[in-house]
């Protein structure tokens, strides 16, 4: 059995910088046609020079591979209209992080009053720049996303022309919010389709499955599967592949992030196949995102075969999800 995916897109990806960038960027570029690149470097990507410089370093890291890095800017309330107008051509979106909520987000937002955010969000609406949001409060870890939904609703209501993407949603609350507001969209990761909190902490602790937002309950996973498997037109695949070196994961203070980029398409094929909805994967992993972001990614064809693929124990010193396990689909070729 064979599956052909056209121009797969990863709409939420961490590529890091320096040596880590050189390890992980080729692994995404190999099988994806484009990806939304997260700006949470140190310091965060928040100037035109930083965006252009980072894009150049990504291009260098992937060599001749056909792959479009879709750059993002780290949200700051200080940006003015002229700056945004000037940087618009260099970015696909702006990413908003609540301060301190996840890796390298210390310079994020701690005041969610709409009046404080309004000048930038109004400029973005006018310029047609989408807003990507890490939607978690600093409440109890299992409730953080659900507690953030009212903020999404306030944003969606007040900024009707702003495309708001709820990044890496993990709850049925977020799934339900999708259909209440025309301008709300979402990305869903691979790991949140596969796991619940039980897989992370129900037995021996699995640091390589620890991420933000934390995986939730079976009913949440079911809601995510429902919209992903039916390729709901407002959801897109965003791996949130977030590499950390092994010593940062297998540590008393384990860094948050699951590394999935090199195994994502194979594992997506497996879970869509098992659900009997393989024909919907193309929409989930590319077509929906093209419609939502209005992008035309480079043409690429990834041919997958229903044959075993043994996931490597590590890629350099980064341990992927399913390390050492067998997946049921493998990539045969990329054209
Ligand atoms: C991400 C990272 O490591 O950059 N970590 C994660 O657990 N997902 C940041 C993020 O997207 O929250
Ligand atoms: Zn992320």
Give residue ranges with CB within 6 A of ligand 1. Answer: 14, 40, 102-103, 134, 211-212, 240, 242, 256-257
Q: State residue 69's pLDDT score.
A: 98
Ligand 2 center to 307 CA (angstroms): 30
Could you give the count of Cα atoms lying within 13 Å of 241 in the half-sphere of its Cβ?
29
Identify which ligand lies nearest to the alpha carbon of 256: 1
Q: Which of 41, 97, 241, 257 to mutate to test the pocket of ligand 1 (most atoms within 8 A of CB)?
A: 257
Q: Residue 140's pLDDT is what?
A: 98
- Whole-number Å distance, alpha carbon 256 to ligand 1 midpoint, is 6
Distance CA 56, CA 123 (A): 27
Which CA distances in Å does 220 have to 55, 82, 133, 254?
Answer: 35, 41, 19, 24
3-state secondary structure at position 181: coil
Task: For residue 275, give the 3-state DSSP assignment.
Answer: coil
Q: How many domains does the chain have?
A: 1
Average pLDDT of adjacent 10-residue blocks, the chain of 335 residues: 98 98 98 98 98 98 97 98 98 98 94 95 98 98 98 98 98 98 99 98 98 98 98 98 98 98 99 98 99 98 98 98 98 98
Structural domain including 180 reads 2-334
Name the burial class of residue 10, with classes exposed (0-12), middle (13-18) and buried (19+) by CB atoms within 10 angstroms of its CB: buried
- Residue 160 burial (CB < 10 Å; 0-12/13-18/19+)? exposed
pLDDT of residue 311: 99
CATH of the domain at 169: 3.20.20.140
Q: Which residues of 166-194 are buried (b: 16+ CB within 10 A; e: fewer)?
A: bbbbbbbbbbebbeebebbbbbbbbbbbb
* pLDDT for the residue numbered 272: 99
d(CA 99, CA 94) in angstroms, rounded, equals: 15
pLDDT at 220: 98
Told to judge if 220 belongs to the known catalytic residues of this protein, a careful annotator would answer no
The pTM for the full model equals 0.98
CA distances from 262 to 140, 282, 315, 318 (A): 32, 18, 9, 11
Q: In angstroms, what is the span from residue 155 Cα to ligand 1's centroid?
A: 23
For residue 211, the ligand 1 atom closest to its alpha carbon is: 7
Contact between 57 and 17 (Cβ < 8 Å): yes
> What pLDDT was estimated at residue 127?
98
Gap between the Cα atoms of 155 and 321, Å rounded: 34
Ligand 1: residue whose CA is nearest its atom 5: 257
């Amino acid at each position: 059995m064979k599956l052909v995916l056209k121009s797969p897109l990863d709409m939420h990806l961490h590529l890091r910088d320096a040596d880590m960038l050189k390890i992980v960027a080729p692994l995404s570029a190999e099988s994806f046609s484009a990806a939304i690149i997260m700006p949470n470097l140190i310091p965060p990507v928040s100037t035109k020079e930083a965006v252009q410089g980072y894009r150049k370093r990504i291009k260098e890291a992937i060599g001749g591979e056909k792959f479009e890095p879709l750059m993002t800017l780290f949200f700051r309330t200080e940006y003015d209209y002229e700056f945004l107008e000037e940087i618009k051509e260099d970015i696909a979106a702006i990413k908003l992080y609540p301060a301190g909520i996840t890796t390298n987000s210390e310079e994020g937002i701690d005041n969610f009053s709409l009046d404080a955010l309004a000048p930038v969000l109004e400029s973005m609406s006018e310029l047609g720049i989408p807003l990507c949001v890490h939607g978690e409060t600093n409440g109890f870890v299992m409730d953080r996303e659900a507690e953030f939904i009212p903020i999404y609703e306030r944003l969606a209501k007040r900024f009707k022309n702003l495309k708001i993407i709820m990044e890496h949603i993990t709850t049925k609350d977020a799934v339900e919010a999708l259909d209440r507001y025309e301008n709300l969209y979402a990305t869903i990761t691979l790991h949140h389709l596969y796991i619940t909190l039980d897989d992370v902490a129900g037995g021996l602790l699995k640091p390589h499955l620890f991420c933000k937002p934390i995986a939730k309950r079976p009913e949440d996973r079911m809601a995510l599967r429902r919209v992903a498997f039916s390729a709901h037109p407002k959801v897109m695949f965003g791996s949130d592949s977030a590499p950390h070196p092994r010593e940062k994961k297998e540590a008393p203070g384990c860094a948050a992030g699951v590394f999935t980029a090199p195994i994502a398409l194979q594992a997506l094929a497996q879970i869509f196949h098992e659900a009997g909805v393989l024909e919907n994967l193309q929409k989930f992993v590319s077509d929906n995102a093209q419609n939502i972001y209005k992008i035309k990614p480079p043409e690429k064809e990834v041919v997958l075969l229903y044959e075993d693929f043994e996931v490597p124990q590590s890629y350099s010193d980064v341990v992927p999800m399913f390390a050492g396990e067998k997946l049921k689909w493998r990539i045969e070729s990329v054209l």
